[in-house]
Amino acid sequence: MQAMTKTALTWPMPPSQSESRRLAALRRLQLLDTPADPAFDRITQLAQTLFDVPIALISLIDEDRQWFKAKCGLHVSGTPREQAFCNYTILHDSVFVVPDARAHADFAMNPLVTGEPFIRFYAGAPLIVAPETRIGSLCIIDTELRAFNEEDSRLLARLAQVVTDEIWLRTLASGQSPIVPHFVPDRQKTEPAPLITGVQVRAARAMLGWSIDALSLKTGLSPNTIKRMEADEQSRPSSQSTAAKVMDALEGAGIVFIGHDAANPGVQLLSKPARNKDQQEI
C-alpha cells in the first residue's frame, strides 16, 4: 500500500471541544513518530495470528493523518486521515466493524478499498485513555469477507486494553505525568471523582482573562454556581454535569487540564485565544 494523497472523501468529525481534548491527550502521551516498540509489535503480531488476518495495526489519529505505532502486513507509516477507517472507530467506545467495505456507502470509493491493500473487511477497537478520549485504535483488516461475532469483538477489545496498558506503562517509565489516572471503561465507581477542581477553574480563568460572569455566559450556568464550584464547598459539591460544562467551555478556549494536586493545579493554555466581547471582563 502506498501513502495516498488527499482526496475529496469526507469523514465525520467529533465535536470540536471533544476533538481538541483528544488531540491534547495524544500529544501529551508523546507517541507519534516514535521508534518501533517490541511491546506494541507483539500485540499486532498476536492480533494477526489470533484472527488469521493479513493486516493488524495500532493506529493513532492526528489532526490530518493516521500514523501506525505498530503494524503487521503493511510497509507504510500511515495514511491521510480522511482515508482512515480508524477515524470512524474513534467515534465509538465499542468495536467498529465494516463487514464488506465495497458495499458500505462511506468506504466503497475509499482509495484503500479500490486500490492497495484492497480492504474488504475491517474491525477496530478504540484506544480509550480517558472518558470520551479515544486516541486511535487496534484494528484488523482482511482482503476477503469474513465472519466476526460478539466473542471476536470482545477479544479485540481486550487486546486494545492491553495496548492502553502498555501506553500507561511507557508513560510511567518515562517519568511523565499521566493525563488522568489509568482509565478502565468498565470500572464501576461508587464515588465518582470530580472532573476538575475549583483551583483549576480559577487558574484557567486567570490564564484566559475571563471573569466569573464571562464564564457564566459561556456555560449557561449562574455566576453563583461557578462561585460555589471555585470555592470547592464540600457541603455543596458541584455535580458532574456542572463540572463537565465548565470543563468543555475552558477546553474549547485552549485550556488543557493535566491532573491536579495540592502543589500544582495542573492547568495549561495551549494558545491564547483572541478576545471577543463575551470574553471581556464584566
The sign of the CA dihedral 165, 169, 172, 174 is negative
> Is there a cis peptide before residue 117, judged by omega within 30 degrees of 0?
yes
Return the amino acid letter for 24: A
Pick the CATH number of 198-279 from 2.120.10.80, 1.10.260.40, 1.10.3210.10, 2.60.120.10: 1.10.260.40
pLDDT tens for residues 239-248?
A: 777 888 888 8
CATH 1.10.260.40 range(s) for the chain read 198-279
Question: What is the residue-averaged pLDDT of the chain?
Answer: 80
Kindly tell me if the per-residue pLDDT of 251 is higher than 90. no
pLDDT tens-digit readout, 75-131: 999 999 999 999 999 998 999 999 999 999 999 999 999 999 999 999 999 999 888
Q: Highest mean pLDDT: which of 16-25, 143-152, 254-263? A: 143-152
The CATH 3.30.450.40 portion of the chain extends over: 16-173
Question: Can you give the pLDDT at residue 244?
Answer: 81
Q: What is the pLDDT of residue 174?
A: 64
- CATH superfamily placement of domain 16-173: GAF domain (3.30.450.40)
- Please tell me the predicted confidence (pLDDT) of residue 243: 81
Q: Is the pTM of this model over 0.85?
A: no
What single string gives the DSSP state of each residue in the chain? -PPPPP-S-------HHHHHHHHHHHHHHT-TTPPP-HHHHHHHHHHHHHHT-SEEEEEEE-SSEEEEEEEES--SSEEEGGG-THHHHTT-SS-EEES-GGG-TTTTT-HHHHSTT---EEEEEEEEEETTEEEEEEEEEESS-----HHHHHHHHHHHHHHHHHHHHHHHHTTPPPSSSPP-TT---SSPPPSS-HHHHHHHHHHHT--HHHHHHHHT--HHHHHHHHHT-TTSPPPHHHHHHHHHHHHHTTEEE----SS---EEESS-PPP-GGGS--
CA 19 from chain centre, in angstroms, equals 7
Residue range 133-150: mean pLDDT, rounded: 95
Q: How confident is the model at residue 170 (pLDDT cuts 50, 70, 90)?
A: confident
